[in-house]
Structure 1
Amino acid sequence: MANIVIALTTVNDESKAYEIAQGAVEARLAVAADVEARMTLFYWNGDALRHERGYRVSFTTTTEGVAGLEAWVHERHPHDVPQWIVLPAAATSDQYLAWAVAETSAGRQRTPGPVMP
């Protein structure tokens, strides 16, 4: 049975973050995608500590759909090795899970679930 997961990546370009978020939902790989407010990213690049402005994109998808979402995001991501972290949801309402399954590619082969208001 499918469950909800939240997949996270960061992008240093605001328009690219919006493009990836919207595209993943349009492709029905994520039921929702949030572009979070600008933040500062710190990371190692070889021997140099770097920092830059960035945006976190949080995708809501299903356990069945996360591999397809990952491949899709990585094809469009501007970094060679993008951040990709997947977090399981501790709990999800049955109605939200049914909606998420119905609205993602994994659910398109099934009977549609409820429509969210």
Structure 2
Amino acid sequence: MTDHVQVSTATPTKDDAVHLAGSAVKARLAAGAQVLGPVTSVFWHLGEYGTGEEYKVLLTTTREQYPALEAHLLAEHPWDNPEVIATPIVAGAARALEWIERSAGSQN
């Protein structure tokens, strides 16, 4: 187990996704981010079954930075109650993990 996480959320548009990714990386809350999509989502929302087209945002950060990243994503997200989930990174290339540590939270 490492001290790193991959954080995911989804947005209604590519522009929203790129904004979230860019603002988090520029703030050094995440080392990097990818925008995937469009993807088709299937979900329950407000008690109703639905489907929709969304853009997935994946970000890498440290466990220590996660609370600040979560707060940032919730504040900047276009939806009132977006799904924001952190998944532990159980293993990774040493150089990649070191890069995450240097980049997320660093003022360099």
Same fold (TM > 0.5): yes
- Structure 1 gap ranges (5+): 113-117
Q: Assess, with a 3 A threshold, how the Cα gap between structure 1 residues 88 and 47 changes in structure 2: closer, same or farther.
A: closer
- Off by >6 Å, runs of 4+ in structure 1: none
Report the Cα distance in structure 2 between the residues aligned to 1:13 and 1:103, rounded to whole angstroms.
27
More strand by share: 2
Match of 1:33 in 2: 33
Match of 2:21 in 1: 21
1:57 aligns with 2:61: no
Q: Which is higher, the Rg of structure 1 or of structure 2?
A: 1
> TM-score w.r.t. structure 1 length?
0.83
CA apart distance, 1:92: 2.3
SS of the counterpart of 1:38? strand
Q: Identical aligned pairs, as a percentage? A: 30
Match of 1:12 in 2: 12
Report the Cα distance in structure 2 between the residues aligned to 1:37 and 1:100, rounded to whole angstroms.
24
- Structure 2 gap ranges (5+): none
- 1:65-104 CA distances to partner (integer Å, 9 max, x unpaired)? 1111000000011111111111111112332222211111
Pairing 1:39-78 to 2, within 5 Å after superposition: 39-78=39-78
Amino acid at match of 2:20: I
SS of the counterpart of 1:80? coil
Q: Which has the higher contact order (CA 8 A, sep 6+)?
A: 2
CA apart distance, 1:25: 0.7
Report the Cα distance in structure 2 between the residues aligned to 1:63 and 1:28, rounded to whole angstroms.
13
